[in-house]
Amino acid sequence: MKNHLNSFYKKKRILITGNSGFKGSWLTIILKEFGANVMGISIGQVSKPNMFNLLKLDKDIIYLKEDIRNYKKIKKKIDKFKPEIIFHLAAKSLVMESYKNPSETISTNVIGSANILEYVRNSNYVKSLIYVTSDKVYENSELNRIFKENDKLGGADPYSSSKAAAECLFTAYYNSYFKNKNVGVATVRSGNVIGGGDWSENRIIPDLIKSIKNKKKLIIRNPNHTRPWQHVLEPLIGYLKLGMKLYKNNKFSGAWNFGPSSKQNLNVRNLVKYMSYKLRVNLNVSLKKNKFKEKKSLKLSSLKAKKQLNWKSCLNLNQTLDLTSDWYRVYLNKKKNKLYNITLNQINLYFKLLNK
């Protein structure tokens, strides 16, 4: 699989929006190792510390520090690069942040996404678009159901509704402009993604690592909430496979789920216990009632990706958490010069496990 993807993406012109974020950083490394020509656009440092900066990923790529909402500016610069494939990851991606600043979340996730769709509409050289939204786009009544791509969209919070709105925009552009255009376009939805290098605010593993580093109490909001935990490499490989398929055949256009198996589900309390054990720390944990509502459970069906892309979740839950803790252990041991190597080693290990 690695050789197949490598040979396809080598020398391809790839645009990644949101390249300095968690997912964007991992995707940048993979594509750099494949020998792709990469351009990244992001608003800048999205967290501190930041994986993109720690690993000095601005080397060997074209990096533009721009706001995705400024269409005129980004269009001029993207035009010079002429991307063949676009991975649109730029977003305000946190539920808690969306409650605090809904207008910023909505404008980034809706207007920013509309700008990418508009760019592809007016382009003659973009061959495939991977348009990243979220597993939270579904109307979730918490009936413990497994969501399929054709299920009803909704959103009970500003983040979820902004991503569902981005999905509606995608459908409108697809039906109006892309159906008869020589371009493959797809929207992708993945589960709760974890892995080394995530420093987002109000996310359980980054909060856990910060509490260890700063020797402070770990605050847990929803200890009994269950999520389908998934290593960041799982959906990214799915996106890369889909990007390749879309480039060759636009019949793969549409919505795609990339979620882990139900065996990956674990509540927050037990996730903290496992990570504490792997990192060999005794955490001082405190429970704090969440004043904002978050859904208790969420599950995706990835049967479509399994049947049509031959994609499936490769890592079990222990492997997912082990890779995550191994990465952060290197960081906590102040071996920042080894972070790129461990990231690359984990990518190579993943492909080995994938080929078994």
CATH (domain of 11): 3.40.50.720
What is the 3-state secondary structure of the chain?
A: CHHHHHHHHCCCEEEEECCCCHHHHHHHHHHHHHCCEEEEEECCCCCCCCHHHHCCCCCCCEEEECCCCCHHHHHHHHHHHCCCEEEECCCCCCHHHHHHCHHHHHHHHHHHHHHHHHHHHCCCCCCEEEEECCHHHECCCCCCCEECCCCCECCCCHHHHHHHHHHHHHHHHHHHHHCCCCCEEEEEEECCEECCCCCCCCCHHHHHHHHHHHCCCEEECCCCCEEECEECHHHHHHHHHHHHHHHHCHHHCEEEEECCCHHHEEEHHHHHHHHHHHCCCCCCEEECCCCCCCCCCCEECCHHHHHHHCCCCCCCHHHHHHHHHHHHHHHHCCCHHHHHHHHHHHHHHHHHHHCC
The yes-or-no verdict on residue 195 having pLDDT over 70 is yes
- Inter-residue long-range contacts of 100-106, CB under 8 Å, 24+ positions, other chains counted: 102/158, 105/158, 105/159, 105/162, 106/158, 106/161, 106/162, 106/165
Of 53, 68, 57, the C-alpha closest to 31 is 57
Structure tokens belonging to residue 64? 């533009």
Residue 284: the pLDDT is 82
Residue with tokens 């509704």: 161
Domain extent, residue 58, equals 2-354
Domain count, the chain: 1
**Parallel, antiparallel, or unpaired for β 299-300 and 184-190?**
unpaired
pLDDT digits (tens, 9 = 90+) for 290-305: 655 555 567 889 999 9
In the predicted model, what is the mean pLDDT of the chain?
Answer: 91
Bond from prior residue into 49 cis (ω within 30 degrees of 0)? yes
pLDDT band at 127 (very low <50, low <70, confident <90, very high): very high
pLDDT digits (tens, 9 = 90+) for 228-243: 789 999 999 999 999 9
Residue 224: the pLDDT is 84
Please give the span between the terminal C-alpha atoms of the chain, in angstroms, as a whole number: 11
Dist. CA 199–CA 209, nearest whole Å: 9
**Parallel, antiparallel, or unpaired for β 218-220 and 285-287?**
parallel
Q: Given CA atoms 172, 178, 179, 185 in this order, what sign does their dihedral have?
A: negative
pTM: 0.94
Residues whose CB is less than 8 angstroms from the CB of residue 103 and which lie 6 or more positions away in sequence, other chains included = none
Of 4, 8, 40, the C-alpha closest to 25 is 40
pLDDT band at 18 (very low <50, low <70, confident <90, very high): very high
Residue 295: the pLDDT is 55
